[in-house]
Amino acid sequence: MEKRTFVPDKKIYSDTINQLVENDKITECIAVRLGCELGISRLEIVNAKVTDVDKINKRGLDISVSKRVRRGSKKINGEKKPYFEMRIREIPINRDLYQLLKIYMKQSGIYILQRERGDDTKSFHVDMIDKMYYANDIPWSSHKSRHFFKKQVWSWMMKNRRPDTALLKELMGHKKDTHENYGDYSWDYKLEVLDGTFGGD
């Protein structure tokens, strides 16, 4: 598979989603929307469980299986070594995607993404996400879906004169600077940002 470096704009994204729905590719549509509207990775998408939705907050997806990311260094036996931890966070789900997920998950087993065949107690392999993208001629890669998410959230923040790098980092699961760790964001505020960005507000 060739490397895809393209990041879609809102129109191309919307046209692609509409095409998937018209072709009755609902599982593929859900996979793409999870990446583009929640900013989560392939690993997080395939491991997202039905029980992770609304687990902590209403309209939230609790990310419990994620990539290990470097979070600095720690001294171990007097030697400085890299320190890694899971990129765990809860992501707000915009209204439109949440309603679609609730309908879609009624027929689902353990994992949000439904298998048409095979053992539905096992998650898809991460490579299946890339295969879905290529099989459906989606012109960007699954990783570029995270770029799309970041770009759209930041554009909404700038348009509404509310730039907030700390919140964006938190949503993406990136490490925040020391000064960005002061104070917490309310759940309602996070929902407002994601609804505004992807919910048509």
Answer yes or no: is 1 within a domain.
no
Tell me how many domains the chain contains. Answer: 1
Residues with Cβ within 8 Å of 15's Cβ and at least 6 positions away in sequence, in order, are none
Domain membership flag for residue 4: no
**Ordered per-residue pLDDT tens for the chain, 201 residues:** 456 678 999 999 999 999 999 999 999 999 999 999 999 999 999 999 999 999 999 999 998 755 555 556 667 777 777 655 556 789 999 999 999 999 999 766 899 998 877 787 888 999 999 999 999 999 999 999 999 999 999 999 999 999 999 999 989 987 766 555 556 889 999 999 999 999 754
Q: pLDDT at position 89, please?
A: 85
* Residue 86 within any structural domain of the chain: yes
From residue 184, alpha-carbon distances to 84, 150, 169 in Å are 23, 20, 13
Task: Report which of 65, 58, 16 is spatially closest to residue 37, judged by C-alpha positions.
Answer: 16
- Is residue 63 situated within a structural domain? yes
In a domain, 5, yes or no: no
Whether residue 154 is contained in a domain is answered as yes
Instruction: State residue 181's pLDDT score.
Output: 59
Give the pLDDT of residue 109: 81
Could you give the CA distance from residue 150 to residue 52 in angstroms, rounded to a whole number?
22
Residue 78 confidence (pLDDT): 78
Residue keyed to tokens 């859900």: 30
Domain containing residue 109: 10-198
Under 8 Å between Cβ of 42 and 126:
yes
Rg (CA), the chain: 17
Which has the closest alpha carbon to 190: 90, 99, 97, 102?
90
CA 20 to chain centroid, in Å, comes to 18
Encoded tokens for 88: 């765990």
- Whether residue 108 is contained in a domain is answered as yes
**45 lies in a domain?**
yes
Q: What CATH code is carried by the domain that includes residue 94?
A: 1.10.443.10
Which of 178, 16, 117 is closest to 6 using CA atoms? Answer: 16
CA distance readout (Å), 198 to 14, 25, 111, 129, 134: 11, 20, 23, 22, 24
Q: Which residue is it, tokens 């490579």? A: 127
Helix (H, G, I), strand (E, B) or coil at 30: helix
Q: Read off φ and ψ for residue 185, nearest 5 degrees.
A: -95, 140
